[in-house]
Amino acid sequence: MLFKKTEKPASEMLPAIQVVSGGVYFGIIKTASPIRIEGDFKGIIFCTNKVIIDKKASVNGDILCHDVVIGGTIEGNVICKNKCNLDEGAIVNGIVRTALFENGENSSVTGPIYVNKENMNIDVDEYYELFNKKETLEKIKTEYFSLPQKMILIS
């Protein structure tokens, strides 16, 4: 046999994080696992993997990630290292910064869109460190966590 197929052992594969529909969830997510948002999320997402926002989902806050597929509504900025894909009817009310951009029919972005190959140099962890300052976290806590919360995800 000339070629041998190699697969990652199951222990190396990262589990996906899922925010399900049926309520509003608050928090700060920092993960290397893929994320799927199916409900309403208020907070900030730092992901060194793929983020998927379902058609009926909404995010009120910023997303910093490697790849993103948006089907629902984002009230915030999207900073994406690789590809930002807006599905049909998706809405982003904020700035989009990415290396590759694709939008579907009837999708919209109300802020500027910066598409540049230099955006491939974005370091999500570096952004997290800039964000993760005490005064910034206190402001976020006051704004988001003063409301009744269903879940806070921090990894």
Q: What pLDDT digit, counting tens, does each position of 25-54 carry?
A: 787 888 899 999 998 998 889 999 999 999
Flag whether pLDDT at 128 surpasses 80: no
Domain limits for position 93? 15-141
Is 7 part of any domain?
no
The answer on pLDDT for 140 being more than 80 is no
Is there a domain that residue 123 lies in?
yes
Does a structural domain hold residue 2?
A: no
What is the distance between the alpha carbons of residues 7 and 119, in angstroms, rounded to a whole number? 30
Query: What is the number of domains present in the chain?
Result: 1
119's CB contacts (< 8 A; 6+ apart) are 80, 81, 97, 98, 99
Q: How far apart are CA 107 and CA 121, in angstroms?
A: 27
Q: Looking at the domain assignment, is residue 98 inside a domain?
A: yes
Residue found under tokens 């058609």: 55
The whole-number average pLDDT for the span 95-105 is 94
The pairing of strands 73-75 and 63-70 is: unpaired
Angle value at C-alpha 92, between 127 and 59, nearest 5 degrees: 65
Q: Tell me whether residue 3 is in a domain.
A: no
In a domain, 77, yes or no: yes
- For residues 7 and 131, the model is more confident at 131
Out of 17-21, 47-51, 120-124, least confident range: 17-21
Residue 3 has pLDDT above 70, yes or no: no
Sign of the torsion formed by the C-alpha atoms of 107, 113, 115 and 121? negative
3 state DSSP class of 140: helix
Single-letter amino acid code for the residue at 25: Y
In a domain, 152, yes or no: no
In whole angstroms, give the CA distance from residue 31 to residue 46.
6
Which pLDDT score is estimated for 57?
94
58-81 pLDDT, tens digit each: 999 999 999 999 999 999 999 999
Q: Is the model more confident about 121 or about 134?
A: 121
Q: Do the domain assignments include residue 155?
A: no
**Is residue 154 scored above 60 in pLDDT?**
no
Please list, in sequence order, all residues whose beta carbon lies within 8 angstroms of the beta carbon of residue 95, skipping any fewer than 6 positions away.
77, 78, 111, 112, 113, 114
